[in-house]
Structure 1
Amino acid sequence: MNEIDVYPRPIQQYGALCFRNTPRGPRVLLITTRETGRWMIPKGWPISGLKPRKVAEREAWEEAGVIGRAKKKPFGEFVYDKLMQNGNGARLVVAVFLLQVRRCRKRFPEMAERESAWLTPSEAARRIEEPDLERLLLKFGRMVERTGRLR
């Protein structure tokens, strides 16, 4: 998509960088998108009456079957372009909230529509096509290495 094809103003979305600790170190969750099968984090549109971090929590549940609590403030954001159903292009800005996973369910709303993978932050970054999201995953990995904790 070039600049002419994109809506003049970015459209806001909210996403969850889902993470958990394992005996082999921290892991982050990636899921595939429904349309293209690209690797991504759970994300979605604002929901009336829900705070942004609660939207991120809901998207994590619906798209990946994970339950946890998102931090109150965004960890960062990334930008990507999307072809909308009406044929127009849109630039989306996703505010990303860290979400520590407490439980994973086998059954969830979009389980038949997506694949998921738990990866190290650097492995996840290599699968991502959006440079800003790749940087966020690497930033998270550095933060965990530096502090030695996942909170």
Structure 2
Amino acid sequence: MEVLRERLAERSLLRGSDPSGTQTGAIPYAVIDDQPVFLLITSRRTGRWIFPKGSLMDGLSPWESAAQEALEEAGVEGQVDPTPLGTYRTLKRGLRRTKVLDVTLYPLRVERQHDQWQEMRQRYRHWATFAETRRLLTERPVADLTEKLSRQLAAS
């Protein structure tokens, strides 16, 4: 029952609040045998499967910041599309308070995967088909944006 109350409070906060910050992120993908696969990473705090994301970096455009997050958090580089897939709202829980964030995601076609990267001791990474990606992601809007990218890739 407590979990249900917590989820309802989260939904209320997400709907009724203006964001206190913005982030940018990447959906790293590759096309193998005409099928898209997506690179997920674990979050540092909870171990949930997510895509790389973080605050905007000084001197970089939002899509360049997204590509830099993918390099630091997932150890991948490639072609980032400057056209965003969309934006979703999420909660970031800190030690002292919870913030409402708007996160804009950009497609990143992976061209190089490093064996060693900055956050390799803090995260796992996993390539997954769309069906598995949808199952592993806990935030529905992120899964919906992944589906949007999957449809775009199938049409091209």
Task: Note whether the superposition's TM-score is higher than 0.5.
Answer: yes
CA distance in 1, matches of 2:13, 2:143: 26
Aligned to 1:67: 77
1:142 and 2:141 aligned: no
Coordinate RMSD, CA, aligned: 2.0
**Among 137, 142, 151, the residue aligned to 1:128:** 137
* Structure 2 unaligned spans of 5+: 1-5
Task: Report the AA paired with residue 48 of structure 1.
Answer: D
1:95 and 2:104 aligned: yes
Q: In percent, how many aligned pairs have the same letter?
A: 33
Residue 8 of structure 1 and its aligned partner are, at CA, apart by: 4.7
CA distance in 2, matches of 1:13, 1:63: 14
Residue 69 of structure 1 and its aligned partner are, at CA, apart by: 2.0
CA distance in 2, matches of 1:125, 1:4: 24
* Structure 1 unaligned spans of 5+: none
Q: How many residues align?
A: 146
Runs (4+) off by over 6 Å: none
Tell whether the 8 Å contact from 1:15 to 1:43 is kept in structure 2 after alignment. Answer: yes
Tell whether the 8 Å contact from 1:13 to 1:93 is kept in structure 2 after alignment. Answer: yes
CA separation of 1:126 and 1:4: change in aligned 2, threshold 3 A: closer
- Equivalent positions of 1:1-151 (< 5 A) are 2=9, 3=12, 8-10=17-19, 11-23=21-33, 25-85=35-95, 87-145=96-154, 147=155, 149=156
CA separation of 1:19 and 1:4: change in aligned 2, threshold 3 A: closer
